[in-house]
Amino acid sequence: EVKLQQSGDELVRPGASVKMSCKASGYTFTDYAMHWVKQSPGQGLEWIGTIIPLIDTTSYNQKFKGKATLTADKSSNTAYMELSRLTSEDSAVYYCAMEGYALDYWGQGVMVTVSS
């Protein structure tokens, strides 16, 4: 059974950074790209970017370049996303999703709240 287990919700100060994880199980981690998606009430669903764990290649939505950094650890089957210089606009739920035919499997999401 494919499972993507994301780290816990975060409360962070404006200007800080946050790094979240997505641990994959039930499939060969290096065989599939991992995507990250932002969901906020005002903006709906937004594609942030993707990483191909086998070759550590990333591709970003231009909107999130400089904001998000995607990495992957093949030894632990875990993908990471770091968000930097956080503002209230970054308050949202963030999902990781494995690409098979489309975004076939999703993590449960991490709620990030940016507040002082």
Partner 1 sequence: DTVLTQSPALAVSPGERVSISCRASEGVNSYMHWYQQKPGQQPKLLIYKASNLASGVPARFSGSGSGTDFTLTIDPVEADDTATYFCQQSWNDPRTFGGGTKLELK
Residue ranges in contact with partner 1 by CB under 8 A:
35, 37, 44-47, 59, 61-63, 95, 97, 101-109
Tell me whether residue 39 or residue 71 sits nearer to partner 1 (CB atom): 39
- For the CA atoms of 95, 77, 27, 62, what is the dihedral angle to 10 degrees? 40
Cβ of residue 16: shortest distance to partner 1, in angstroms? 25
Tell me whether residue 2 or residue 16 sits nearer to partner 1 (CB atom): 2
Tell me whether residue 16 or residue 111 sits nearer to partner 1 (CB atom): 111
Amino acid, res. 66: G
Cβ of residue 14: shortest distance to partner 1, in angstroms? 26
Annotate 94-109 with b (16+ C-beta within 10 A) or e (fewer): bbbbbeeeebebebeb
Cβ of residue 33: shortest distance to partner 1, in angstroms? 11
Distance of CA 13 to the CA centre of its chain: 19
Question: In terms of DSSP bridges, do strands 110-114 and 10-12 run parallel, antiparallel, or are they unpaired?
Answer: parallel
Cβ of residue 75: shortest distance to partner 1, in angstroms? 26
Reduced to 3 states, what is the DSSP secondary structure of residue 34? Answer: strand
Tell me whether residue 13 or residue 67 sits nearer to partner 1 (CB atom): 67
